[in-house]
Amino acid sequence: IPVWSSAYFASCLYFNSVQFKNRFGLSPVNRNLILFPLFLLGVTGDITGVCYGRNGNNLPSPADTIALYKSNHIDAIRMYEPFADMLEALRGSGLSVAFGPRNEQIQSLAQDPAAATNFVATWILPYKNDVAIRWITIGNEVFPGEIAPFVAAAIRNVNAALTSSGVAGISVTTVVAMSALQNTYPPSAASFLPDLTEIMTEISSILAETNSPLMANIYPYFAYASDPKDISLDYAVFKSNAPVVIDGGFEYSNMFVAMVDGFNAALEKINAGGVVVTVAESGWPTEGNPPYTSVDNAKAYNSGLLTCGGGARMRTPRRPGTAVDVFLFEMFRENQKQGPVEQSFGMFSPDMTPVYPLFCPA
């Protein structure tokens, strides 16, 4: 999780067990490489997505990083801000790219169309011919919060700047966390927080108009680690062979799809059921909070999301016709993050060796 997402990280750790059950779709009784498909605007077929952060002082060079992505058959990279050296290294790579402005830049993009024009001129136009920029994320986990009211206008202004510059095929969206929802047990009861309903209705309308996904960060790990008495490990890491949550006609044997369907249900309540939910981050740490953090648990969780060799991509009970598409969090272990848990989501060590083996065959 990026350093500037640490408030969400901390809030997860301090939710009490009832709050976790409500937020993460549970009844009171009851980041080596992994390859994922992405299905977003301008992209078809199975695409691999892995997040890339820079909170480390010993990370590989941009060129070596891109080579590692390609050698491991990764097709897409999500960055948390536009890094000029990474964009240079991405030229001609064929990797699909997602990035966005830093959260503190969103208000300016919303209030000043010239700022959006400058963003496009600086970070899109110089690279558009040989870097496959597919997604611009306006805000990472800013809902709820003081930045949230500016996101819709920022998305509109960036879309307008792209259009006026003759750029097509880039989806402009935002990234939300589970903290944007309320009443998530059962998943069908989920809705956006009252203070966010108007904002999310406007954003979802834009996304529907532009055929863009809503991105969400989904972390069963935090719920399980907070309340292991009521949340089974099998439910959290895709090992349950039977339904754990029954929601009318929908049955859930893993927490991941319950969380995703919480967003689907919330979108339906604001008449945006046609907007696809794409998972912008999901992963499991290997260290820092035993026994919940471990290589075995991380491998089991990531294996549950793994799709290899054209196998069926994961779908949710609420959206059986739509694949759940995921950016895995994250590429490298980063030693400048706060604490061992945050540092250990990475699937590769800085020397580019895998933390644990979890590869799709070539």
Alpha carbon 357 to its chain centroid, in Å, reads 22
Is 362 inside any structural domain? no
Is 350 inside any structural domain? no
Q: By 3-state DSSP, what share of the chain in percent is helix, strand and coil, each rounded to 5?
A: 40, 15, 45
How confident is the model at residue 86, as a pLDDT?
Answer: 98
Is 129 inside any structural domain? yes
DSSP state of 314: P
In percent, how much of the chain has pLDDT > 70? 83
Is 356 inside any structural domain? no
Residues of the chain with pLDDT under 50: 1-46, 309-310, 361
The string of pLDDT tens digits covering residues 238-254 is: 999 999 999 999 999 99
How confident is the model at residue 306, as a pLDDT?
Answer: 67
- How many domains are contained in the chain? 1
CB 264 within 8 A of CB 318: yes
Is 47 inside any structural domain? yes
217: CB partners within 8 A, 6+ apart: 8, 140, 141, 175, 176, 177, 178, 279, 280, 281, 282, 329
How confident is the model at residue 303, as a pLDDT?
Answer: 81
Is 156 inside any structural domain? yes
Q: What is the CATH number of the domain that holds 207?
A: 3.20.20.80
Burial class (CB in 10 A: 0-12, 13-18, 19+), 287: middle
Alpha carbon 115 to its chain centroid, in Å, reads 26
Q: Kindly list the catalytic residues.
A: 141, 281
Range of the domain at 90: 3-30+32-343
The string of pLDDT tens digits covering residues 307-360 is: 554 456 678 999 999 888 889 999 999 999 999 999 999 999 999 999 988 756
H or E element in which residue 287 lies: none
Specify which residues 250 forms β-bridges with: 247
Is 68 inside any structural domain? yes
Burial class (CB in 10 A: 0-12, 13-18, 19+), 95: buried
Is 158 inside any structural domain? yes
DSSP state of 104: G
